[in-house]
Amino acid sequence: MRNIFGIDLDHNRPGKDKTLYDVMDGQKFRVTGAAGKLAKLHERYAERIPEKHAADHISEAAYQIGRSCMKILRFYPLILLILALIWFQDLNSRPLHTILILLIPAFVLLAVLLLCLVLGKICVPKTVGRTPGFDSKQLMQDYEKELKKLLAIPDSAERIDIFCFTYQWKSGKAVQRKNRTGRVFTNMEYFAYMKEGKLFLTDGHDLFEIPKAAITSIEHLEEKGNASFPSWNKEQPYTDAAYARYRVKKGVDNYYMPLAAVYQVEVKNRPEPFGFFVAGYDVEALCRVLGRPAPKLPIPKN
């Protein structure tokens, strides 16, 4: 099964003339002309963000530097304590020049500590909504209201996390990227709704349509391991009781949960079947939209 929201990095990378949506495998499911209308809507609302507020957001590279520095700071108290204990036990038995030499690495460690502290403060993004008089939450509500009007999205629409992923070819097989936690996905929040016998999916940037009759099954992944994803899109925290049975955990750089909590929605297509992946915590919402019973989650509630 090919992922509608899959991206082949060996043959179809996004670039200056190609957006993320232009290179997704499921091009036949894109609604022609929708991207242009949505882009204009997005640009209009982007212009309403004050310049100072927009400047609060920094590059991904700088953000990662800041995150790394803040992680290093966690270990400094332990390192300094160990060094202090070693030096204290030895100090009286050493000549003065040796003590001075031992102080050099201490000063180096202190300098690195201060550098990490400064970089961490500078590079970790400031909170959204800092600009006086600017309400980012209200802006988002206005944007979604116009989006729903533009696409005629019904009130019965549900927000669901769809899992996009990238892959490369090795020995004739498509291999999805992995990290130490498991298979790496990107969870993208979509509005899901039915209209004229078709399932429509939009994240505000593009629009996909899938005939309801072509959806043949919704089943969980039976693979072992975890699904790793970068963000949490729900209003309630992942620790909320509503999500307990999905065993979502927070790693150092991302969230993850068992692959068995990821569902694949298969779509009949020739010459090969397509489909997409939805987070287990949203599969019931998707089934409500489709008007079909939700599959049983194969994960213990503890």
Kindly report, residue by residue over 24-45, the tens digit of the pLDDT.
999 999 998 898 999 999 888 8
The model carries a pTM of 0.73
Cβ contacts of 136 within 8 Å, gap of 6 or more? 49, 53, 128, 129
Q: Is the pLDDT of residue 144 over 60?
A: yes
Angle in degrees, CA 71, 62, 257, rounded to 5:
55
Confirm if 212 and 197 have CB atoms less than 8 A apart.
yes
Residue range 183-209: average pLDDT? 96
pLDDT of amino acid 298: 64
> How does residue 302 score in pLDDT terms, banded at 50, 70 and 90?
very low
Measured CA to CA in angstroms, residue 114 lies from 68, 103, 108, 124 at distances of: 14, 17, 10, 15
The mean per-residue pLDDT over the stretch 125-149 comes to 74
Distance CA 123, CA 67 (A): 8
Give domain limits for the chain.
Answer: 2-46+143-290, 58-123
71-88 per-position pLDDT tens digit: 666 666 666 666 666 656
Among candidates 289, 67, 64, which has minimal Cα distance to 199?
289
Lowest mean pLDDT among 102-106, 127-131, 180-184, 257-261: 127-131
Least confident of 7-16, 95-104, 134-143: 95-104
pLDDT-derived band at 195 (thresholds 50, 70, 90) equals: very high
Comparing 58-67, 140-149, 174-183, the range with the smallest average pLDDT is: 58-67
* Neighbouring residues of 239: CB distance < 8 A, sequence distance ≥ 6: none
Q: What is the Cα–Cα distance from 223 to 62, expressed in whole angstroms?
A: 35
Which residue type does 254 have?
N
| Band of pLDDT at residue 69, cut at 50, 70 and 90 | low
